[in-house]
Chains A and B, each alone.
Chain A
Amino acid sequence: MAQGNAIKYLPLGGVIAIFLAFPFLYTNPYILHILILCIIWSVVASAWNLILGYAGVISFGQLAFFTLGAYTVGMLHKFLHISPWIGLGLAGIVPALVGLGIGLVCLRLRGIYVLLITLSLQEIVPVFIKWQTQYTGGAVGFSDMPKLAIGSFSYGNNPLPFYFTAFFMAALFIFIIHKIIKSSIGLAFVALRDSENFARTLGVNDYKYKVLVFIISAFITGVMGGLYGLYIGFATPSLCGWEYVVILLIAIFLGGEGKFPGEIIGTFFIIAATELLQGTSSLREAALGTTIILVVFLLPGGLISMIHRLRKKIGEGLRKTSVGAGQSG
């Protein structure tokens, strides 16, 4: 039994080992920078997939929580001199409170209302940021981000400590998301997705669970937003634009909606691609828009299901050719 467990956890351990060893084996700061971004965005994608793919809540306001997190860390340090570590916690709590307010209002209504109110949140957060210029820095952006430090060791502009911080936080959050999916809450969502009325007759209170998961998702997204703000060193209202929404949605659809570790792989794929292609074209957004439409049409169910379909097709093709060869011979 113990041996079976060890084999089961072997791939996971391997992935963790590769991630921990990578920066020492390959010390290119630019690649490290892309990896940090990938790690941060993959947690955000995971938190979004938890709410979109599992809970079936069509939330389009995740980037609003992310932006709120980034601004919370910076503004708390600038105006109240709160340490960025405590600020990171509060960067989760502030979006979670906003999520609680919005979730209580809209999660008992049909999905279209959730979409409309979260979309409005997404549109209204930049309006607030551009409005309260004396606090937020307005449209130019907020650049007084504090520097993270452990004791007397300051992170400075060195990406290495950020890499490990991001990795450990990501590991923690992805573990939590995994636990939620495997828990009775996750089972309840699967039941609701498969047969809503039957699940309700069994006494599943979807409103309560949806609010809970919505808050958790907002919290995780907010903390990651705070970390992103600290790493990049500034926050702009354009963070809350549709560009990142589309990138994350591509990641989720590539990995498969509601197929848990898939979106993490999808994020690494798309973030690396967009970072490497950055600045090549002024029509970047158009390319992203085209990509997501193509993904919706060509990859229903994500890359994994495409691999399955391909394998099936190749198998059929092989069978046909072997039969043909047999007949001719």
Chain B
Amino acid sequence: MEFISNLGITIISGTILGNIYGLMALGLTLIYGIGNIFNFTHGAFFIWGAYLAWFLITQVHLNMFLSILLSVSCLFLFGLIWEKWVLKPKRQDFVSIITIGLGLMMILDSMAHYLFDPTKKALPPLVEGNVDLFFVTRSMNEVVDFLIAMGILFTLWFFFSKTRVGMAIRAVSENNVGASIIGIDVDKIYTLSFAIGISLAGLSGILLAPEVYISTEAGGDALLKAVIIVILGGLGSVKGSMYAAFILGMIESAISMYVGMFWVLPSWFFIMVLILALRPRGLYGTR
């Protein structure tokens, strides 16, 4: 019976983790797929989302869902401004874009250290209470996290496949010259998708924050995890990232259940090296 309940915990928390990691990696994939640029600041925005939500909830005492909405909109706005004013002139220069991202990451990490002092912060759970799922008891919070992440994923799916702007983003990611010929404002799409990408990073940070403590080191781990997920899924492939996030989320929860927390990141790293050695395009990517 204990075996079944352990297995149940592994599968359920793996699914929840996979869901949130999926959101995080989706942001990175989106930014890479549109502009062919790597977003160094993904981990920094991950913790900034969590810090902003923590500030609004515990210091300003705002309503929880309102503060989540507010902090994600802050990141969205910042993304719009940053892409439009800073990244735009350097878009074609790969090394410059990476370097600017690295610089911004340093600034954001340092500001977080300075403004919120280095002690680890705990975001209170979004909802109290527990819930019985099959053989295991999980906190209500995890279930709500799962539902929010699912809701966002469904919204994104709807946005990308049914709305004109979403379809325009997909068109640009497939062929930006062709997209500009048929009258899509490619500049705006670049800016918009960058802002969506970092908002997703921040949102996943908020959703994960009640499970892990918020600290500046968490940003580095988040960046590493997002990179590994994106590589396993195949660069630029949304479907691949989602599958990879679920696979790696399962692996993470199984390893922390049966082996130990510390083994998670090293084993993810070896999985990445193996994937690159044997099948560099990942699950669904193109070379």
Contact = CB atoms under 8 A, between A and B. Distances in A.
A74 B37 CA distance: 39
B94 A290 contact: no
- Interface residues of A, dominant DSSP: helix
A109 B266 contact: no
B258 interface: no
B109 interface: yes
A120 B272 contact: yes
A62 to B, nearest CB: 13
Interface in A269-314: 282-286, 288-293, 296-297, 300
Contacts of B280: 109, 113
B273 interface: yes
B100 A105 contact: no
B127 interface: no
Chain A interface size, under 10 / 10 to 19 / 20 to 34 / 35 or more: 35 or more
A48 to B, nearest CB: 12
Contacts of B133: none
Contacts of A110: 287
Nearest to A119: B227
B26 interface: no
Contacts of A297: 90
B266 A288 contact: no
A128 interface: yes
Interface of B: 32, 36, 38, 86, 90, 94-96, 98-100, 102-107, 109-111, 113-114, 220-221, 223-224, 227-228, 230-231, 235, 262, 265-266, 269, 272-273, 276-277, 280, 287
The 3 A-B pairs with the shortest beta carbon distances in the complex, nearest first, are A289-B106, A285-B110, A286-B110
Given A131-B262, A297-B90, 16 more contacts: A105-B276, A105-B277, A110-B287, A113-B231, A116-B227, A123-B221, A242-B105, A242-B106, A257-B95, A289-B105, A289-B106, A292-B99, A293-B86, A293-B99, A293-B100, A296-B103
27 contacts: A58-B98, A109-B280, A116-B230, A117-B273, A117-B276, A120-B224, A120-B272, A123-B223, A131-B266, A242-B106, A243-B106, A249-B99, A282-B114, A283-B111, A283-B114, A284-B110, A285-B107, A285-B109, A285-B110, A285-B113, A286-B106, A288-B103, A290-B103, A292-B99, A292-B106, A296-B100, A297-B90
